[in-house]
Structure 1
């Protein structure tokens, strides 16, 4: 049946969006409305809208939040949503996110204003988590659908989803099921309602039937477009993290400020050195400062040439590069003790171009305060007046410069302005050392260090230390003093069980610790059954969170049982099964990670201060930011800036950073990037309020664990 377009139902701006500019028309059409590149997030305090806001925050995409739980919130009316600038109609927001399809009271003027706004400017609405019902384009669950837990369900992206906003996924969307005793996800699964213009993008099987029910889909009605999401989630859950990019791309039409990529980098510390081994009888590490009184005999762990061969083959098969963080004195000591022979160093140096290399100081010396190790835990030594005794500047200089010289003599392809100090020492370390070593900053300047590693579990924010900027690294809970799985489990049991079970009691002293064990793990199976899945999930969560910070392990974990690889395989192989080839993992070296974090911080500051202006008129996008603040955006493939291609390809679009001089930048979208058009329909009243949607108890509290040691 031929549809008659009723022009009276669309504004001039919507008609232009629907029809597109005529051939040869100017990019900034004189009659097109201005659409500001900002999202309106209307929140009810629930986890779903908070998750969408967190995704926008992480990407650097500006938004305005209206909290419906606050009595002093602004009223959402026509003046709040739109106005006129320089004689041109302006939409203040390019998309609207609501907690459900209608969170307002019956007959709400605010919902009517939103519906009118969306029709007028052909702007989309995301229903962050709503009940399946005809008003949202779906059948009621009681009519052959399903409502209940979807823990462990393996949903699928539909052909329409892959051809549209979720084309960066290979197809599967697995839902987490991390605890059999906790309901982690709840959903309404229903087919489209009879006669509804509804396109499922992500769906799953309805239990007990051969039918599919929608979890994410697009509903077109009343001149409006809604993305209808019918499962509850929080910002940390894998299923949301997999779909978050597509939700943002759908609501922005692939035109927005900010960018997101999936990053993974792994630093391997103490290369060339040997790591002291955990003693399963003493429950400490002989040779370590906290294993005092001459207890035990050190039995160090050190890689072999065969471990290097394994590492290079593993890298090749996974298209991934490890960062080897090295201590040259480890090889010097080995040669002195073995008549000049060090087969490991010979092999690593021969294969040096297979890896990236980072200076880890010459001897791995502690570069903070002078340590008093006669007590457990150790303390800082003090002068007679009580002031802290610090490792001096010349010692720090020697550790940095000698290791660099050793690496250069070995032909290692170094980035000489990167540094990882032993144990991140020199930086503040609570509770013993609340301040940075004052001699650290001048020593960094002496040696031209611009990027200094810090431990994310104790120093997560990027900051300046003299001339250097920190790069926080995530510690993996794969311990430096273990080369065998049984040792790892034994130490894990000791740390995370109670004193009555022979453990350290850390969980009794710190009940908030999330890795506490109800009983010790089996030393034969506990690593593969418990530790590997948990550490894989934590690291994978970072990968899916647009987080470029590197993870770090130790050379001991690539030796003997090679216990790091099951975790790394879990991340990399898991990623390959979920993402399309157009969305590869980004594997940056430390300096580039630091630069990315630095740019993000400056961008976030400029956004918070209201110093960024960005809008779209037709096929022209204009962005203005303070001088020196790089601009970041995600745009359709074919976008140009000054006649040159903008950004780099990722996930079916282009994104990246571009320098700003303080003047307005004008980006030209490809002719194919026509703004989404509203469906032609007569204006109708807003739907009645959405019914209550269920949120499983405890779901919002489930967050990933980051090791604190």
Structure 2
């Protein structure tokens, strides 16, 4: 979790009574025990919710108290601290408040928090507060600014780069996704004269040559506060960029849980050909969305030049694509072309440049037998109404034959990974409500441990027999489009109204987030609308620490190569935002599956109260159940059993460590010298903070997450 600066023995002894602790609480070694848990005091607003969400995703324990609930616990000395084995214990290593003081005037709860923070040097995060002298800042009316920051590029100061935000490359762009929506609101102000206030992130104050703080540290009266003066929600890019630093500041870089940024891209249907969208029929001849016999298939298949481009692109970005292949695509091409398949020859020559995943031999649908005489298709049934399923032998053969083919041509495979065609075999609503009962036995027959699933249908991992699913994010770059104009035409068909020539899906499902008010321009719609939207969506997953892979199709690397602008947007955009010590992690499928499994086991143990973690001086002790790996983030130089803990990332070290049911003792490096809290001028008497809601008419726009 998080770290707390240790107060002196004298200070603890002098202040122990102020917290109402027993007179016998003094210990021969009175260095406090600080539990690695965060106290989040929420007002139901988006900012405290965002910080709680960051802790949740990272696996950092926290306790939330909702001030809007009548049955909430009272915040008092007993809730905050006690003694364990005669040693003073701080139950929380940090406090998050919705503002610098969300309580009424003269509040005993705020007084208890102030005493607690002073006694144990507990830092406080003001999740979103008004700029005012009580928070170390001038009022915005005194030469500052209050208003929108849409589209503004804030900057990390030198102090921020040397401190908790050193993983960033320097800029913090604020979103401006829609000119019709107010997405960001902030107070920009300068520190009060004489205040010990250090801005970490600032922006230019409009109409002046000065810069105002957006995130800064205020030291006063024996306390430390991180003062945040802009509103945000958990999805917005500006918060996602700063979230790691907020947690690092409040914990001193010592906390349970870990946060890394992941990006993996699966390319399905390699060696095969994908059917093409027909712009006149508004369907895909040869696929189940077109009636039988409608149109003539015009398949899309990569060329050797496309393979060379993919390999060069990877080299230029330091990134590896995962290719999900169908061996029959090459076999059939050779049969139809006198034994020649230049595409396969080039892929096989460059086989070591890529990672490879079994995608079944023919890309057959492995669920129920499909009745395609109707659109949409339905499951074929026996005369008694029971569903007709693709058999176990057929499923097994699709997996095993493709593996044999891949091994025979020298593909470097992991035999326990599988992507079925269209994620078939698993349930597909509304037609197929359960898994093919023959799927799990076939997976066992072929030794499959990791099975791809569609994150838009099943975002959580689950077991399919002995195999575990790995949910994949579908990118809204269509499998049946090799050219940008085709992508735009299909996009317009799906997301416009019937009156505009579209499918009417949005009229029938008004909650669909990608609905268009008018069709996109065929010539510019892809580059100007679809690419930025898909880039923002995928980069949002990356910044949220989501390891789930994204998937596209080989058709998107052919012809106009329409996938690359989106992938470039993600990779180049990330590189422009983060320092070199915070790289994108590019894992393969089984590694992603294992990461998701470890996270689930860890969260379960936390939720059941089976994890204990605390810091005493420079030692962190963590106890977790046998079989549950411990995840933690620690400063560089931390050791476990004499060896370096974890792996370097974002200036610290983090990782998973098996606990084997025995306590882990982490030795922290000597704490660097830091200024004591409260070296500046005393703060004014702290009164309740003004309400700082999002102004009327302003809201935060949540990035689109594809539903199909």
TM class by shorter chain equals over 0.9
Task: Quote the offset at 1:708 in angstroms.
Answer: 2.2
Residues 385-437 of structure 1: per-residue CA shift (max 9 Å, x gap): 22111100000000000000000001000011000000000001100001000
Residues 309-344 of structure 1: per-residue CA shift (max 9 Å, x gap): 100110001000000000000000100000000000
User: In 2, distance between residues paired with 1:12 and 1:674?
Assistant: 23
Q: Counterparts of 1:631-650 in structure 2 under 5 Å?
A: 631-650=630-649
In the alignment, which residue of structure 1 is the partner of 2:143? 144
Contact 2:456 2:473 in 1 (8 A): yes
In the alignment, which residue of structure 1 is the partner of 2:265? 266
Task: Quote the offset at 1:679 in angstroms.
Answer: 3.2
Task: Quote the offset at 1:673 in angstroms.
Answer: 5.6
User: In 2, distance between residues paired with 1:684 and 1:404?
Assistant: 69
In the alignment, which residue of structure 2 is the partner of 1:575? 574
Residues 145-168 of structure 1: per-residue CA shift (max 9 Å, x gap): 000000000000000000000000
Task: Quote the offset at 1:696 in angstroms.
Answer: 4.0
Secondary structure of 1:10's match?
Answer: helix
Task: Quote the offset at 1:486 in angstroms.
Answer: 0.3
User: In 2, distance between residues paired with 1:208 and 1:701?
Assistant: 25
Residues 242-264 of structure 1: per-residue CA shift (max 9 Å, x gap): 00000000000000000000000
- Residue 597 of structure 2 is aligned to residue 598 of structure 1: yes
Contact 2:292 2:372 in 1 (8 A): no
C-alpha change, 1:37 and 1:699, in structure 2 (3 Å) is farther
- Residue 518 of structure 2 is aligned to residue 519 of structure 1: yes
Residues 188-215 of structure 1: per-residue CA shift (max 9 Å, x gap): 0001111110000000000000000000
Q: Counterparts of 1:71-470 in structure 2 under 5 Å?
A: 71-470=70-469
User: In 1, distance between residues paired with 2:227 and 2:546?
Assistant: 27
In the alignment, which residue of structure 2 is the partner of 1:543? 542
C-alpha change, 1:604 and 1:558, in structure 2 (3 Å) is same
User: In 1, distance between residues paired with 2:673 and 2:360?
Assistant: 55
In the alignment, which residue of structure 1 is the partner of 2:67? 68
User: In 1, distance between residues paired with 2:576 and 2:269?
Assistant: 32
User: In 2, distance between residues paired with 1:7 and 1:508?
Assistant: 65
Task: Quote the offset at 1:674 in angstroms.
Answer: 7.1
User: In 2, distance between residues paired with 1:444 and 1:219?
Assistant: 58
Contact 1:476 1:552 in 2 (8 A): yes
Contact 1:145 1:190 in 2 (8 A): yes
C-alpha change, 1:537 and 1:11, in structure 2 (3 Å) is same
C-alpha change, 1:685 and 1:74, in structure 2 (3 Å) is farther
Task: Quote the offset at 1:702 in angstroms.
Answer: 2.5
Residues 14-71 of structure 1: per-residue CA shift (max 9 Å, x gap): 99xxxxxxxxxxxx99321000000000000000000000000000000000000000
In the alignment, which residue of structure 1 is the partner of 2:19? none
Secondary structure of 1:487's match?
Answer: helix
C-alpha change, 1:111 and 1:385, in structure 2 (3 Å) is same
C-alpha change, 1:494 and 1:697, in structure 2 (3 Å) is farther
Contact 2:9 2:30 in 1 (8 A): no
User: In 2, distance between residues paired with 1:639 and 1:232?
Assistant: 35
Unaligned runs of at least 5 residues, structure 1? 1-5, 16-27
Task: Quote the offset at 1:692 in angstroms.
Answer: 1.3
C-alpha change, 1:677 and 1:395, in structure 2 (3 Å) is farther
Contact 1:29 1:617 in 2 (8 A): no
Task: Quote the offset at 1:10 in angstroms.
Answer: 3.4
C-alpha change, 1:611 and 1:8, in structure 2 (3 Å) is closer
TM-score normalised over the length of structure 2: 0.96
Point out the more displaced range, 382-391 or 473-482. Answer: 382-391
Task: Quote the offset at 1:704 in angstroms.
Answer: 2.1
In the alignment, which residue of structure 2 is the partner of 1:509? 508
User: In 1, distance between residues paired with 2:529 and 2:682?
Assistant: 56
Contact 2:484 2:526 in 1 (8 A): yes
In the alignment, which residue of structure 1 is the partner of 2:11? 10
- Residue 690 of structure 2 is aligned to residue 688 of structure 1: no
C-alpha change, 1:408 and 1:46, in structure 2 (3 Å) is same
In the alignment, which residue of structure 2 is the partner of 1:25? none
Contact 1:453 1:470 in 2 (8 A): yes
Task: Quote the offset at 1:686 in angstroms.
Answer: 6.0
C-alpha change, 1:648 and 1:698, in structure 2 (3 Å) is farther
C-alpha change, 1:682 and 1:303, in structure 2 (3 Å) is closer
Question: RMSD over aligned Cα, in angstroms?
Answer: 1.8
Contact 1:241 1:545 in 2 (8 A): yes
Contact 1:358 1:414 in 2 (8 A): yes
User: In 2, distance between residues paired with 1:686 and 1:169?
Assistant: 36
Residues 574-608 of structure 1: per-residue CA shift (max 9 Å, x gap): 01111000000000000000000000000000000
User: In 2, distance between residues paired with 1:650 and 1:699?
Assistant: 36
Contact 1:112 1:685 in 2 (8 A): no
Secondary structure of 2:230's match?
Answer: coil
User: In 1, distance between residues paired with 2:155 and 2:427?
Assistant: 47
C-alpha change, 1:61 and 1:273, in structure 2 (3 Å) is same
User: In 2, distance between residues paired with 1:344 and 1:696?
Assistant: 57
Contact 2:219 2:680 in 1 (8 A): no
User: In 2, distance between residues paired with 1:422 and 1:132?
Assistant: 55
Contact 1:223 1:682 in 2 (8 A): no
Contact 1:115 1:686 in 2 (8 A): no
C-alpha change, 1:684 and 1:287, in structure 2 (3 Å) is closer
In the alignment, which residue of structure 1 is the partner of 2:24? none
In the alignment, which residue of structure 1 is the partner of 2:30? 31
User: In 2, distance between residues paired with 1:450 and 1:676?
Assistant: 52
Point out the more displaced range, 284-293 or 333-342. Answer: 284-293
Contact 1:262 1:584 in 2 (8 A): yes
Secondary structure of 1:93's match?
Answer: coil
Residues 217-272 of structure 1: per-residue CA shift (max 9 Å, x gap): 00000100000000000000000000000000000000000000000000000000
Contact 2:610 2:624 in 1 (8 A): yes
User: In 2, distance between residues paired with 1:145 and 1:71?
Assistant: 37
Task: Quote the offset at 1:678 in angstroms.
Answer: 3.1
C-alpha change, 1:635 and 1:7, in structure 2 (3 Å) is closer
Secondary structure of 1:477's match?
Answer: coil
C-alpha change, 1:680 and 1:190, in structure 2 (3 Å) is closer
Contact 2:12 2:30 in 1 (8 A): no
C-alpha change, 1:675 and 1:375, in structure 2 (3 Å) is farther
